[in-house]
């Protein structure tokens, strides 16, 4: 007969490793009016690309004092969540008074877990393909809200045929026997303005049009079999090998691993409304006709 009175109750809490994805906002000026104007411009260009993201403010290159209360307030007005700061001397002290914690991105955070997937990757330095202004967003991730389930989005899961794991950064890991195959998210309908689809930890296939004002986001590749007229963001968790494929290119915004380009003017006739591939070459976003070696 077993005496259950000696069984230990489970602990009410536990500690586990985690990786925080945040946007790094790099300050090139301490002038508040310039910072606010550049912030307004960046957020207008990117639409909801950075909305509700955690933000680390990088003021290491500044000697002049920043108006931290005003800057933090402006970021929050744009639906950004400042959580940390990289700064020196007085700026570090004043930022701390606004509730920002010092952050060190010089090395990955230490972890005691032996598995490679538990080791945080180095930060991805993502530079916008658009001309630089006084404030620059270093996007390490696109969106981190949960993806809708297939029942909610009309998506179906298509096995990739391989057996793979996903690292803590959301990037594909090494193949492991016995694990279920990673499923590609498939959307079998056009997406209207205001709709957003996020394929977490996998590729995304859209069979139909992505309308202007719609957003498609994936941690892996994005395939659009139809006109791409909205925003497309591949490699949302920092996968620089991710690509965007479409049979008809006419987008508002393109991004791979946080390197983004706002399409403000008409594309080259060889690319506009043509099949194309969008990919990273170094830190530059390249668009090449589909079928052309990039």
Assign residue 115 a region (left: φ > 0; alpha: ψ between -120 and 50; beta: otherwise): beta
pLDDT digits (tens, 9 = 90+) for 251-276: 999 999 888 888 877 888 889 899 99
The Cα 189–Cα 155 span in angstroms is: 8
pLDDT tens figures, 186-222: 999 999 998 989 998 999 999 999 999 899 999 999 9
Report if pTM > 0.75. no
Q: Domain-by-domain residue ranges, the chain?
A: 23-138, 150-289
Query: What percentage of the chain's residues is helix, strand, coil (to nearest 5)?
Result: 15, 30, 55
CA distances from 29 to 38, 66, 240 (A): 10, 8, 29
Phi, psi of 293 (to 5 degrees): -70, 120
Confidence of residue 11 (pLDDT cuts 50, 70, 90): confident
Residues 6+ apart with CB under 8 A from 59: 27, 30, 66, 85, 86, 87, 88, 91, 95
Say which residue, 279 or 129, is predicted with more confidence: 279
Taking the CB of residue 277, how many other CB atoms lie within 10 A of it? 19
Q: List the one residue out of 204, 163, 201 whose CA is nearest residue 181.
A: 163
How is 127-195 classified by DSSP, letter by letter?
--SSPP-SEEEE-S-S--SPPPPHHHHTEEEEE-SS-EEE-TTSSEEEE-TTSPPPEEEEE-S-B-TT-
What is the C-alpha to C-alpha distance for residues 232 and 94, in angstroms, rounded to an integer?
Answer: 38
287 and 266 Cβ atoms separated by less than 8 Å: no
Spatial distance between the Cα atoms of 284 and 290, rounded to a whole number of angstroms? 18
* Residue 178 pLDDT class (50, 70, 90 cuts): very low
256 in Cβ contact with 222 (< 8 Å): no
Residue 121 makes CB contacts below 8 A (sequence gap 6+) with 19, 108, 167, 169, 171, 238
- pLDDT tens-digit readout, 121-152: 333 334 444 433 344 444 433 333 333 433 33
Buried b (16+ CB within 10 A) or exposed e, 44-76: ebbeebbeebbbbbbbeeeeeebebeebbebbe
**Quick one: tokens of 123?**
């930060």
Q: Which of 126, 24, 114, 123 is nearest to 75 (CA)?
A: 24
- Give residue for tokens 């008409």: 266
Query: What CATH architecture applies to the domain 150-289?
Result: 3 Solenoid (2.160)
Residue 81 structure tokens: 């969540």
Tokens describing residue 101:
């914690």
- The fold of the 23-138 domain, in CATH, is Alpha-Beta Plaits (3.30.70)
DSSP for 40-70, written as a single string: HHHHHHHTTTTTT-EEEEE-TT--SPP-HHH
Q: What is the mean pLDDT of the chain?
A: 76
DSSP for residue 39: H
pLDDT at 258: 81
């Amino acid at each position: 007969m077993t005496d259950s009175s000696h069984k230990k109750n489970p602990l009410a809490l536990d500690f586990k490793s985690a990786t925080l994805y945040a946007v790094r906002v790099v300050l090139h000026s301490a002038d508040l009016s310039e910072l606010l104007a550049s912030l307004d411009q960046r957020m207008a260009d990117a639409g909801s690309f950075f909305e509700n993201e955690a933000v680390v403010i990088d003021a290491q290159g500044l000697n002049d004092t920043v108006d931290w209360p005003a800057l933090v307030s402006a970021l929050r007005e744009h639906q950004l969540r400042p959580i940390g700061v990289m700064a020196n001397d007085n700026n570090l002290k004043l930022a701390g008074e606004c509730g920002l914690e010092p952050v060190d991105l010089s090395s990955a955070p230490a972890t005691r877990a032996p598995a490679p997937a538990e080791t945080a990757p180095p930060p991805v330095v993502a530079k916008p393909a658009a001309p630089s202004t006084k404030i620059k967003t270093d996007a390490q991730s696109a969106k981190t809200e949960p993806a809708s389930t297939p029942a909610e989005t009309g998506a179906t899961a298509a096995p990739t045929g391989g057996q793979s794991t996903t690292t803590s950064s959301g990037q594909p890991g090494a193949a492991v026997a016995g694990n279920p195959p990673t499923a590609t998210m498939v959307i079998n309908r056009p997406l209207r303005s205001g709709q957003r689809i996020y394929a977490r930890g996998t590729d995304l296939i859209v069979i139909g049009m992505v309308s202007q004002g719609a957003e498609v986001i994936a941690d892996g590749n994005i395939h659009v079999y139809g006109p791409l007229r909205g925003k497309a963001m591949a490699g949302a968790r920092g996968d620089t090998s991710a690509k965007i494929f479409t049979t008809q290119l006419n987008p508002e915004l393109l991004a791979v691993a946080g390197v983004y380009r706002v399409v403000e003017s008409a594309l080259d006739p060889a690319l506009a409304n043509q099949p194309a591939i969008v990919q990273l070459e170094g830190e530059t976003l390249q668009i090449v006709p589909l079928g052309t070696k990039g």
